[in-house]
Amino acid sequence: MIRLGLVGIGKIARDQHVPALANSGDFDLAATASRHGRVEGVESHSTVAAMLAARPDIRAVSLCTPPAGRFEQALDVIRAGRDLMLEKPPAATVSEVEALAQEARRQGTVLFTTWHSREAAEIDAARDWLAGRRIDAVRIRWMENIRQWHPGQDWILAAGGFGVFDPGINALSIATRILPSPLTVLDAVLEVPSNRASPIAAQIRFRTGDATGDARLDFLQTGQQTWDIEVDTDAGMLRLGMGGSVLELPGEIPISGENQEYPRLYSRFAELVRSRQSDVDLRPLQFVADAFMIADRRIVQPFEF
């Protein structure tokens, strides 16, 4: 068992990381670091530095704090010689991740930038079906209710919080995994509440190979939530629904599987730790950065939780 420290005991840690670790055959949750959160029965510390100093036996760390401000924590972990797994998005900027990857190589530690939606049940099957097929068009619809999924989390609409791209980057992580050609941003429109710094909705046109794509992200979806990707090909339309857990192919009965995203992430992290290899993929984050760079920003009505 690999002794692991979990940093940032918030909603995502409680909902996903703690249960996955409780059932892991690879990791022993040895300690946590968080300003406010605790995990019952697990040693707790108020800072990453305190946890690392108190527990030299901890070999790996999983970092679940918001991306803004995460860089220094990640550096502390790497410079302490511990292997590091980063919750998505891995950092506030592309250059921060590149600096962390360089420092990990210098220190001889493992760095894993995770994209949990890539581990959804039918992602691999979708990628395999699209391989070698002509892509004609792509449509991404990622629409959810911020009040349901991020209640009171003002940081997500602050500068560096990504706004609607916090969930939207999940769709982009899937698209960059399953589509055979790279994605490049053509243009974008970001809707930013007048009292916030980050967008609450976005529309992006992009290119992949010779095809164009359209992504619509919305943080104000009520009723049924939408996490869908459709790909038109020379063999018909592929549709991934429910965040990648349902796959519809032309002329076939839809298939679905149970999502085991976080258990799969921790299994992958264990493989990387034991093989001493890093896994750093910046493509989803680069797409978001490109969209922010060229977007038409439109101010919309204020938003309050």
Q: Determine the Cα–Cα distance for residues 264 and 76; give it in Å rounded to an integer.
A: 26
Q: For 58-108, how does the pLDDT look when each residue is reduced to its tens digit (9 = 90+)? A: 999 999 999 988 999 999 999 999 999 999 999 999 999 999 999 999 999
| Domain ranges, residue 154 | 117-257+289-300
- Give yes or no: 11 in active site: no
CB of 132 closer than 8 Å to CB of 176: no
Residue found by looking up tokens 């629409």 in the block: 143
- CATH at 71: 3.40.50.720
Q: What is the pLDDT of residue 267?
A: 98
| Cis omega (within 30 of 0) for bond into 89 | yes
On whether both 247 and 128 belong to a single domain, the answer is yes
User: How many domains in the chain?
Assistant: 2
d(CA 195, CA 303): 7
Last residue of a domain, one of 113, 138, 160: 113
Rounded CA-CA distance 172/286 in Å is: 10
Among residues 113, 133, 153, the one where a domain terminates is: 113
Chain segment 118-146, per-residue pLDDT in tens:
999 999 999 999 999 999 999 999 999 99
CA dihedral 140, 141, 142, 147 (to 10 degrees): 160
Tell whether 101 and 180 lie within a shared domain.
no
Percent of the chain scoring above 70 in pLDDT: 100
**264 found inside a domain:** no
Q: How many CA atoms lie within 13 A of 152 on its CB side?
A: 2
- Three-state SS for 14-45 is HHHHHHHHHCCCCEEEEEEECCCCCCCCCEEE
Active-site hit among 88, 116, 177, 196: 88
Query: What pLDDT, on the 0 to 100 scale, is given for residue 201?
Result: 98
Instruction: Flag whether the pTM goes above 0.85.
Output: yes
What kind and span of H or E run contains 5?
A: strand 2-7
The model's pLDDT over 181-225, given as tens digits with 9 standing for 90+, comes to 999 999 999 999 999 999 999 999 999 999 999 999 999 999 999
